[in-house]
Amino acid sequence: MKKCILSRLHWCLIIVALSLAACHGRGKAAVKPPQPKEKDIVEQPEALHIRIPKNMQAALEFILASNGVLNDSMYFAKDSLVYEIYQKRNFEPIWSSREKWLPLSDSLLNFIGHAKEYGLFPPDYHYNIIINIRAKTTEDTLAQKDAALWSRGELLLTDAFFRICSDLHRGRLPYDSVTLRKDTLTRTAYLSLFDTLQQTGRVDTLMHALEPKHLGYDSLKFGLQEMLRSVDTLKRYTYIPYPANNSMEYTNNLKQRLFEEGLLESPFDYMDTTSLKLVIGKYQRQKGLTETGKLNASTVSSLNNTNWEKFKRIAITLDRYKLLPDSMPTTYIWVNIPGYKMCIVDSGTVVMESNVIVGQPKTRTPLLTSNVSNFITYPQWTVPYSIIFNEMLPKIKQNPDYLRKQNLMVVDKNDSVMNPDSVNWKRYSKHYFPFLIKQRQGDDNSLGVLKFNFANKYAVYLHDTNARWLFSKENRALSHGCVRIKDFMKLADFLVRNDTLRYPPDTLRNWIDRREKHVVSGFPRVPIFIRYFTCEVKNGSIRFYNDVYGEDRLLSQRYFDSKTL
């Protein structure tokens, strides 16, 4: 027994020793390459072709060890790809030869300089730095001898190429639950793109092949180009959130924005409430707004409706197209939440369009992709528990007659209709509620007379409504999440258009006139896409929609607000 214990102790000590050795090995940091030379002046021109590759190799080894960082102003987003490209070529220059920049580098730099026409930001691709390097190596005789400067220009151009390929193809927004486009730019694909560019020399052709193939994307991109031609500069302005608050930071941002508008001599001077009201009132007069001297929604909207904000919204929308599949179905239903519109696209043509009502900001219509499988005439609405607990139950407890006024019935677990006056409502809450609440069929049913079903985890659908007057409102973010469609009969007719034997003309209307419930199915399922696009081209010009859920503002803050053009 004692021998056994000693044996176990012996093995425990060995395991501990091995563990300590392993930990010591992991903790030992690799030697980081030295900082590359800022300058490497080569007096003999013929020696440059030897020193440039050495500088590039040293710089790349340092960049890889520094997670893409060369110095305070240079970050390489595609550092490993850049390294592989030059390693395969023995670190020989690609964009320059014999102390001259090659025409291919001119083409790439020209494309980057026009990147804003694609909703991109040229500084993301080292544009200003490369321009400065090229100017020095072209005009400054001492800089022409600087092997370190030539090597940085080389590496920056290659990193810019890979990054702009990525941003044109997959965009800058993170992939989400409704992303349908696969990122086909694998490491091998990136390297192949670079080889293709070297062979063809056509930057614009290669870049265009990477873009989404959607008519909406193309028209918005061309609309952006028209917009850029019509403005002198895209000046950055301070964004003012709304509703306003009384914080010092908010007031300072407002003063900064009014200074940018030319209404204040300095954004740093003290202003009391009266003085600030006078300046706001002056702005409202200039813009033709109701003069109140107070910040309201229309005034803040005017302050924020700058070309800079429009550019960022277009950039976000162009990137949203990059989340769609490379090719859309032949026929599909498209619902755009901010546009309050639904349309049917068939063989690339919009064959039907309708106004819709979407979810309120607190009960948003979800983004989703599905297929319309059937529709029901004279449907019955089973009220979701979220609506029961948040809205209905407090009113029922106050007065059970609320159920009768709303044409609602209470059903127990056996699907038997309960007398609401016989129920002790005070006993029930969201923790215990053994009933369903349903709305009786009819014209006053919240679903109206038609409901279109498609599988989704949110229990939402397209449907008619008993409050059709709401379609005339400008702001139609009014529902609990479902999409109410104004021209519901046109959608129903389209779905059964090829089945005239089962559904002769006027069959659906006769069922509705007779208030009959029917489930209509058997037609080819039609894909439905519910998306969030706050701008699109209509009648040749860009139309901007209200950022009803604040999604654009959130993405702009996260990815674009700190950028410059």
Token representation of residue 486: 């104004």
Do strands 462-463 and 450-454 pair parallel, antiparallel, or not at all (unpaired)?
A: antiparallel
Give yes or no for a contact between 62 and 35, defined as CB atoms under 8 angstroms apart: yes
pTM score above 0.85: yes
Give yes or no for a contact between 145 and 41, defined as CB atoms under 8 angstroms apart: yes
pLDDT in tens, the chain (565 residues): 444 444 454 444 444 343 434 444 334 446 888 899 999 999 887 889 999 999 999 999 999 999 999 999 999 999 999 999 999 999 999 999 988 999 999 999 999 999 999 999 999 999 999 999 999 999 999 999 999 999 999 999 999 999 999 999 999 999 988 888 877 889 999 999 999 999 999 999 999 999 999 999 999 999 999 999 998 888 889 999 988 887 889 999 999 999 999 999 999 999 999 999 999 999 999 999 999 999 999 999 999 999 999 999 999 999 999 999 988 999 999 999 999 999 999 999 999 999 999 999 999 999 999 999 999 999 988 888 888 998 899 999 999 999 988 888 898 888 888 898 889 999 999 999 999 998 877 667 789 999 999 999 998 999 999 899 999 999 999 999 999 999 999 999 999 999 988 998 899 999 999 999 999 999 999 999 999 999 999 999 999 999 999 999 999 999 999 888 8
CA distance 507 to 539: 36
Q: Between the CA of residue 153 and those of 71, 90, 106, 131, what are the distances in Å?
A: 14, 17, 12, 9
| Torsion, CA 311, CA 314, CA 320, CA 322, rounded to 10 | -90
Q: Can you give the pLDDT at residue 517?
A: 92
The CB-side HSE value for 140 (13 A sphere, CA atoms) comes to 13
CA distance 217 to 369: 19
CA distance 312 to 331: 31
Burial grade of 530 (CB within 10 A; 0-12, 13-18, 19 or more): buried
Residues listed for the chain:
565
CA distance 120 to 223: 15
CA distance 341 to 124: 35
The CB-side HSE value for 158 (13 A sphere, CA atoms) comes to 29
CA distance 183 to 174: 12
CA distance 337 to 289: 28
Calculate the CA 84 to chain-centre distance: 31
Q: Which residues pair with 452 in a beta bridge?
A: 375, 462
> Cis ω on the peptide bond leading into residue 243 (within 30° of 0)?
yes
| Torsion, CA 506, CA 508, CA 514, CA 516, rounded to 10 | 160
Give yes or no for a contact between 154 and 53, defined as CB atoms under 8 angstroms apart: no
Cβ atoms within 10 Å, residue 134 = 18
Calculate the CA 28 to chain-centre distance: 42
Amino acid at 509: R
Q: Which residues pair with 485 in a beta bridge?
A: 356
CA distance 125 to 491: 46
Q: What is the largest CA-CA distance in the chain?
A: 102
Do strands 349-359 and 69-71 pair parallel, antiparallel, or not at all (unpaired)?
A: unpaired
Do strands 462-463 and 483-485 pair parallel, antiparallel, or not at all (unpaired)?
A: parallel
* φ, ψ for residue 351, nearest 5 deg: -100, -10
Q: Can you give the pLDDT at residue 240?
A: 93
Helix 48-65 × helix 79-88 angle, to 10°: 150
